[in-house]
Amino acid sequence: MSKNNSKPDTDRQASVLKAFIRHRLFIPVAFLTFLLLINVLINPGFLKISLGSDSTGNPVLIGNLINILNNATELVILAIGMTLVTASSRGQDISVGATVAIVGGVIMRVLCGSETQPAELKTPIIVALLLGCLAGMACGAFNGILVSKFNIQPMVATLILFTAGRSIGSMAMGGLKPKAAASFGYYGNFIPGLPIPTPIFITIAVIVVTILMLKKTNLGLYTRAVGINDKSSSLNGLGPARIKFLTFIILGLCVGIAGFVQSSRVQTVNPYTIVPSIEMDVILAVALGGNSLGGGKFNMTGSIIGAYTIQTLTSMLTTLNVNTNAVPVFKAVIIIVLVAIQTPMVKSFFVKKVAFSKLTTGDGKERG
């Protein structure tokens, strides 16, 4: 009886393992786990989280995991918006870093006015946040019109703001480099009395809203339909141009929130150095999440995991004292390997290997 049951059990295990390997989240989850294990080997106390104190004496949580979750905030938020843009327009927005500079410039001008270091904020924080989000959405609308109405390839359309955005951010601040009052720093660091970094709460809020939006509306379905075949979706009355434009607006809103967090971290903005090369990290996070950069189906969970994977990789390279200028080189090599592993050809190879291994094991058991 056991011999008869061994073959079905082996087949079932092989099919489960194959499905697991083929799952879109397999590579990003496996690589994130791999990076965490390497960090633990390098530093056995890597996963340790303890209660310390900040410069003002307030109790705060400290540890590598807290730093990764905190520092990945902007990357996660931008990856959410980039995922929708990629899925609908079959291209990427390379201007998100420059747009963050514009948002930061607007926020600093609103909070500081024409002063370089005011004693108090000129407007309430919520007003600065709303105006920053509106500035980001305006930039998103500009890119969205070029892509949806004029049918310009996304990377070419967003090259305009990629080139001019940081200068626009400097102009928004009147050429000054103001520093806001200390209370503005609560949103990029810690709120007194709360030991968890505020950006982590902001990240959770954005993720929850995104999940609810995708579950309660047809945005996800429409985005996939337009990305797969915009002509067919047009015949079904979806309006591809409207969907593409909406995804760029959403990305602009994400940029606004990310710009608010980033400018709050140090209460000032240098438009020419803020979030350098973040657009490439965002695109890589989307790719690592198992999403096709050619549009169509997307996996938002994968993009979020991909963002944390990129941040973990960056933190690991920093821990290893890799030269700052060399970090992009190491990151590029590792990312190339990861993207190659996710190709159908490589995945099929591993699936066949697993199937062959299970078959051999099963046969061996039956002979015994």
Mean pLDDT of the chain, nearest integer: 88
The domain ranges of the chain are: 22-321
Closest CA to 122 of 163, 183, 60: 183
Interior angle at CA 116, CA 111 and CA 120, nearest 5:
45
pLDDT at 220 > cutoff 80: yes
Structure-block tokens of residue 359? 């078959």
Looking at residue 19, what is its pLDDT?
Answer: 67
Handedness of CA 135, 138, 144, 146 (dihedral sign): negative
Read off the pLDDT of each residue in 26-46 and give the average, rounded to a whole number: 88
pLDDT tens digit sequence for 344-359: 676 666 666 655 665 5
Residue 104: pLDDT over 50: yes
Phi, psi of 170 (to 5 degrees): -65, -40
Rg (CA), the chain: 23
* Rounded CA separation 103/269 (Å): 10
pLDDT at residue 163 greater than cutoff 70: yes
Question: What predicted TM-score, i.e. pTM, was given to this entire model?
Answer: 0.90
Q: Which two tokens stand for residue 102?
A: 């514009």
Architecture of domain 22-321: Orthogonal Bundle (1.10)
pLDDT band at 11 (very low <50, low <70, confident <90, very high): low
Query: Residue 313: which H helix or E strand, with range?
Result: helix 300-319
The pLDDT score that the predictor gives to residue 166 is 96
- Tens of pLDDT, residue by residue over 56-91, are 788 999 999 999 999 999 999 999 999 999 999 999
Strands (E) in the chain, as ranges, are 50-53, 59-62
pLDDT of residue 296: 86
Task: Name which residue leads in pLDDT, 287 or 6.
Answer: 287
Quick one: pLDDT at residue 352? 65
Q: Residue 279 contacts by C-beta under 8 Å, 6 or more apart in sequence?
A: 92, 93, 94, 95, 96, 97, 162
**Cβ 125 vs Cβ 187: under 8 Å:** yes
Quote the tokens at residue 64.
């590598």
Residues 6 or more apart in contact with residue 312 via CB below 8 angstroms: 32, 35, 36, 39, 68
Q: How much is the pLDDT for 24?
A: 74
| CA angle, residues 336, 341, 345, in degrees to nearest 5 | 125
pLDDT digits (tens, 9 = 90+) for 221-272: 999 999 999 888 888 888 999 999 999 999 999 999 999 999 999 999 999 9
- Residue 126 has a pLDDT of 96
Percent of residues, the chain, with pLDDT higher than 90: 61
Select from 58, 7, 56, 64 the least CA-distant residue to 36. Answer: 64
Q: Among positive and negative, which fits the CA dihedral 352, 354, 357, 363?
A: negative
d(CA 41, CA 86): 36
